[in-house]
Amino acid sequence: MSGAGNDFVVVDNRSGIISDAPSFSRKVCDRRFGIGADGVLLLENSKTTKFTMKYYNADGSNAGMCGNGGRCLAKFAFDLGITGGNKFTFEAFGHTYETYRYDDTSYELHMIDPFGLVLNQKIQLHNRIIEGNYINTGTDHSVIFLDANIELGSLTAVDIFGIGRSLRYHEVYKPLGANINFVSKTGLNSIEIRTYERGVEDETLACGTGSVASAIISSLRYGMNSPVSVKVKSGELLTISFKRKGEAFYNVYLKGGAIRTFTGNYELP
C-alpha cells in the first residue's frame, strides 16, 4: 500500500502468523531480495478498538507512530470489513487514533497532541551551525527551515542524504535519533518538505508525522493558520488541521491519500 508515496507491506496478522516482526520486516522490505517497502504494517486484534496497528521500519526497528501508515492500515481494515463504518478508532503505541474515511482513497487521522517542543536549536555539524526545531508528533522530528539555513541551498539542491543522516545521528537527538525534515515555505498556509527517515535510513517520498511536525512549527514561525497544505516529495498533498493556544497545539488532524498498489503471496522462510 502507499500513503502519499510512503510505501508499506501490509499484513492481516490477527492469527499471529508473523511471530518475529523485526526479522520479517528486514526481509520483506529489502527492495532487491524481498518485496520492497519503507516499512511493515501489521493489523492485529484489539480489546478496546477496531484493531491494533503495529509498525516496523525497513530495518526492523520500532520507532513510533507512522501517520501515512495509519491511513493505509485504516483503508486496509475498512476493505476487510472490520471497521463498522466510515468513522472508527484503532490503537497504536498506547494511543487511540480516531479515523474518518472520506472516500475510497482519502482518510483522516486524529493525531496525538504534539509535545517536547524545542525551537531554534543551534546544532554544530562539521564546520557549520544548523538551526533546527524539535517536536514529537508520535515520533521524533527535527524541522530544518531552509530560509534559516540558506547555506544548505534550495529544497531541490539540499543534500538530503548526507545532512539528513548526520543530523539523524547527532548527539542533540540521542538516544533514539530523529527524522529530519527540510522545509520551504510556498504560500501563506502552505509548505513543501523533504524528509530523511530514521529506520529507513534514506529519503522517503512522504512522511505523515513529519508533515504534521513541519506544519505545526511553520505555524509558529510564519503565523500559518489551520489548515496547512504540505507538498511531499511524491508531489502529493497532505492537509494538517489543528487548534492552537500559544505554543500548544491540540485537535491535530492528518488527511491524505491511501491506496492499495497490489496484493500477493510471500513465502515465509
At 23-45, the pLDDT tens digits run 999 999 999 999 999 999 999 99
Name the percent of the chain lying above pLDDT 90: 95
Bridge partners, residue 239, by sequence: 229, 255
pLDDT, residue 174, reads: 87
Is 29 annotated as catalytic? no
Q: Are 163 and 131 in contact (CB under 8 A)?
A: no
* pTM for this predicted structure: 0.95
Nearest one of 77, 162, 78 to 126, comparing CA atoms: 162
DSSP string, 139-195: SEEEEEEGGG-GGG--TTTS-HHHHHHHHHT-GGGTTT--EEEEEEEEETTEEEEEE
pLDDT, residue 4, reads: 97
Mapping DSSP to helix (H, G, I), strand (E, B) and coil, where does residue 205 land? Answer: coil
Please provide the distance, in angstroms rounded to a whole number, between the alpha carbons at the two ends of the chain. 23
pLDDT, residue 228, reads: 98
Structural element, H or E, at residue 80: helix 67-80
CATH 3.10.310.10 given to domain 2-110: yes
pLDDT, residue 176, reads: 85
Q: What are phi and psi of 184, to 5 degrees?
A: -125, 130
Structural element, H or E, at residue 214: helix 208-222
Each domain of the chain, given as residue ranges in start order, spans: 2-110, 115-256
Catalytic residue among 4, 10, 21, 66: 66
Bridge partners, residue 96, by sequence: 91
Residue 181 C-alpha cell reads as 525534515
How many Cβ atoms from other residues are within 10 Å of residue 28's Cβ?
21
Model confidence pLDDT, tens digit, residues 181-206: 999 999 999 999 999 999 999 999 99
Nearest one of 184, 80, 71 to 138, comparing CA atoms: 71
Longest dimension (CA), the chain: 56
Model confidence pLDDT, tens digit, residues 133-190: 999 999 999 999 999 999 999 999 999 999 999 999 999 998 888 999 999 999 999 9
Mapping DSSP to helix (H, G, I), strand (E, B) and coil, where does residue 22 land? Answer: helix
The fourth-level CATH superfamily of domain 115-256 is: Diaminopimelate Epimerase; Chain A, domain 1 (3.10.310.10)
DSSP string, 123-150: EEETTEEEEEEEEESSSEEEEEEGGG-G
268 pLDDT higher than 90: no
pLDDT, residue 107, reads: 98
Indicate the DSSP class of residue 203: E
One fold for 2-110 and 115-256: yes
Indicate the DSSP class of residue 264: -
46 pLDDT higher than 90: yes
Catalytic residue among 123, 207, 228, 238: 207
Is 207 annotated as catalytic? yes
Residue 187 C-alpha cell reads as 504560500
